[in-house]
Amino acid sequence: MPPDAADRPDAQSSTFIGSAPRGTADLLDTLRAVVGRRHLLTGEKATRIFRHGFRFGSGPVLAVVQPGSLVEQWRVLRACVEAGVIVIAQAANTGLTGGSTPDGIYDRPVVIVSTRRLAGIHLIHDGRQAVCLPGATLNQLEAKLRPLGREPHSVIGSSCIGASVIGGICNNSGGALVRRGPAYTELALYARVDETGRLALVNHLGISLGNEPEAMLARLESGAFAPADVDPAEGRAASDTHYAEHVRAVDASTPARFNADAARLFEASGSAGKIMLFAVRLDSFAKDGATRVFYIGTNDPAELTALRRAILSGFRTLPVAGEYMHRDCFDMAARYGKDTYLAIRRLGTDRLPWLFAAKARIDALPFVSAHFSDRLLQWLADRLPDHLPERLLRYRDRFEHHLMLRMPDAGIEEARAWLERHFPSASGDFFECSEAEGEAAFLHRFAAAGAAVRYRAVHPKEVEDIVALDIALPRNCEAWTEQLPEAIERPILHKLYYGHFLCHVFHQDYIVAKGTDCVALEHAMLPLLDARGAEYPAEHNVGHLYEAKPALRDHYAALDPCNMFNPGIGKTSREARR
């Protein structure tokens, strides 16, 4: 959806886009004056962790700049616009498709604006909504809401490694929560460059902040606004309010959620870095009381299909989460996700972002070989005793397909009764987890997300690369397991299937043998997905891996007519348009 600038007053700025890149030395001087020498990075090593994606994508940059306030962020952007360079906004850089890093070579110099220093959260309406600044993480939001008995909209696999709230909005990120759908809001404060090249600050946050950009940003950051300045913003969504109904429609021939869904594209939502965001306003949700995890194993996928359809169309209470893992993925996560599992168990999620940052710093040291930290951690993990509960391991031996179902208080009895009526069967069974087993099951499922990356890091001679697909199957799809033709299957060493089963969103990581053309392999797989009515990507967004479908392309073009923000995303044009 194009930005609707007509209904509310926007602050304007007279900065116009430079017609050609100005002397880059001048730009670097200006940026240095804005953020200070320490926060302007230009060296190969210093910029490395910002230039490389978590799983995919990299490219050279002129600089990485780390503003320390919203006003600095605005000044940085203004200088970049004046200089005519490309701007790539980056939050925690946990994106999996290369959408937050450069990818190869561009027609103009690239500046990454890293927002990690800009953590800040203001709760409004007694914590029923939150205003999050660009560096605020889901983890910080969770901690801030916890004393109020509330929780954020999203829980994603990367929440515990520091994924930001705003990165989630930009990617329409999904995650494990069945009732809430993709990250979405219509309330945001952002800057865009219009078709004439003029920079403007657009206040669609529903909070009166004034008209002069720097004063507005300073006011927002310090929280200097009164309840009377906050518009109730009725009629403008701060979450995907219809998702719970939508996901229940198990006879619908379209997927429940996917990145190119036009209904979930609105200004900041799904913007993938095509504007510069300063804040978003989001709903929070009452925390569930007691929950209970049921662990289901089967050798017949039709049993999980029947369970999914029964839950979504018949249960009075929707589950909190319903996560799937194939046995091969279980095994991969048990070995190559073991240290992640143990680190979270021992240290808690709050310290994990710090650990990941330390790991990246070690790998950036000049005397350290590639993937040193991964190899060391794997060596240690392999020497530690088994970490998974006995009952999970027994189910691993008995069953190929695994589903962990977390029910909220009101739905526990309903789920128990259904499962007791249908299991044990000839091919499946279930058990009710203790609290420790339930936590272990979900943590193990989380560890699966990084297992393929670890495998690639420690087996460089054997592995060419990972082909990672993130797909959404139609809600009425019953044949959700995949049969690959022999020619495609041949070069694949390992297949990891896992995902958000009730939403029918699957992550399929293929570890591919050395010497294979992975791009060609992926291209051969896509028509098979098309034939099944799948949409892709489902929740990781296009980045530089997938082609953006028309709704996404239109969204990007409307937000960024000059193509100065994150150009080339979704395999769109990389060239300046003016």
Ligand X SMILES: Cc1cc2nc3c(=O)[nH]c(=O)nc-3n(C[C@H](O)[C@H](O)[C@H](O)COP(=O)(O)OP(=O)(O)OC[C@H]3O[C@@H](n4cnc5c(N)ncnc54)[C@H](O)[C@@H]3O)c2cc1C
- The contacts of residue 73 (CB under 8 Å, 6+ apart) are 67, 113, 115, 118, 134, 217, 276, 278
Q: Choose which of 276, 392, 451, 552 interacts with ligand X (CB under 6 A).
A: 276
Helix (H, G, I), strand (E, B) or coil at 557: helix
Tokens of residue 80, six digits: 């970049």
Q: Choose which of 174, 206, 255, 319 interacts with ligand X (CB under 6 A).
A: 174
State the CB neighbour count (10 A cutoff) for residue 241: 12
Where in 363-382 is the site for ligand X (CB under 6 A)? none
Q: Choose which of 3, 157, 322, 499 interacts with ligand X (CB under 6 A).
A: 157
In Å, how far are 49, 50, 361, 377 from 366, measured between CA atoms? 13, 17, 10, 19
Residues in contact with ligand X, shown as a per-residue x/- string from 415 to 454 under the rule CB under 6 A? ----------------------------------xx----
Cβ 204 vs Cβ 187: under 8 Å: yes
Cβ 101 vs Cβ 121: under 8 Å: no
Smallest gap from Cβ 55 to ligand X, in A, equals: 7
- Of the candidate spans 167-175, 240-248, 400-408, 426-434, the one that interacts with ligand X by CB under 6 A turns out to be 167-175
Residues in contact with ligand X, shown as a per-residue x/- string from 57 to 76 under the rule CB under 6 A? --------------------
Q: Which of 186, 303 has the CB closer to ligand X? A: 186
Interatomic CA distance for residues 33 and 297, integer angstroms: 60
Interatomic CA distance for residues 161 and 357, integer angstroms: 9
Residues in contact with ligand X, shown as a per-residue x/- string from 201 to 240 under the rule CB under 6 A? ----------------------------------------
Helix (H, G, I), strand (E, B) or coil at 372: helix
Q: Which of 168, 389 has the CB closer to ligand X? A: 168
Q: Choose which of 171, 269, 298, 378 interacts with ligand X (CB under 6 A).
A: 171
- Of the candidate spans 87-95, 202-210, 252-260, 425-433, the one that interacts with ligand X by CB under 6 A turns out to be 87-95
Where in 466-525 is the site for ligand X (CB under 6 A)? none
Cβ 8 vs Cβ 41: under 8 Å: no
**Bridge partners of 201?**
11, 191
Closest-by-Cβ residue to ligand X is: 167
Q: Choose which of 54, 74, 258, 430 interacts with ligand X (CB under 6 A).
A: 54
Helix (H, G, I), strand (E, B) or coil at 492: strand
- Of the candidate spans 38-46, 84-92, 314-322, 551-559, the one that interacts with ligand X by CB under 6 A turns out to be 84-92
Q: Choose which of 89, 141, 178, 548 interacts with ligand X (CB under 6 A).
A: 89
Q: Is 166 in the site for ligand X (CB under 6 A)?
A: yes
Q: Is 255 in the site for ligand X (CB under 6 A)?
A: no
Q: Is 277 in the site for ligand X (CB under 6 A)?
A: yes
Q: Choose which of 31, 170, 220, 512 interacts with ligand X (CB under 6 A).
A: 170
In Å, how far are 228, 271, 381, 505 from 556, measured between CA atoms? 34, 7, 43, 24
Q: Distance from CA of residue 188 to its chain's centroid?
A: 18
Compute the radius of gyration of the chain from its Cα atoms.
23
Where in 523-542 is the site for ligand X (CB under 6 A)? 539-540
Smallest gap from Cβ 251 to ligand X, in A, equals: 26
Choose among 193, 180, 72, 179: nearest CA to 133. Answer: 72
Smallest gap from Cβ 366 to ligand X, in A, equals: 26
Choose among 546, 559, 575, 550: nearest CA to 89. Answer: 559
Interatomic CA distance for residues 268 and 188, integer angstroms: 7
Q: Which of 124, 156 has the CB closer to ligand X? A: 156
Q: Is 566 in the site for ligand X (CB under 6 A)?
A: yes
- The contacts of residue 156 (CB under 8 Å, 6+ apart) are 138, 163, 168, 173, 174, 175, 176
Judging by beta carbons within 10 Å of its beta carbon (0-12, 13-18, 19+), is residue 316 exposed, middle or buried?
Answer: exposed
Where in 92-111 is the site for ligand X (CB under 6 A)? 92-96, 99-100
Smallest gap from Cβ 89 to ligand X, in A, equals: 4
Binding site for ligand X (CB under 6 A): 54, 88-96, 99-100, 115, 134, 156-158, 163-164, 166-168, 170-171, 173-175, 272-273, 275-277, 449-450, 539-540, 566
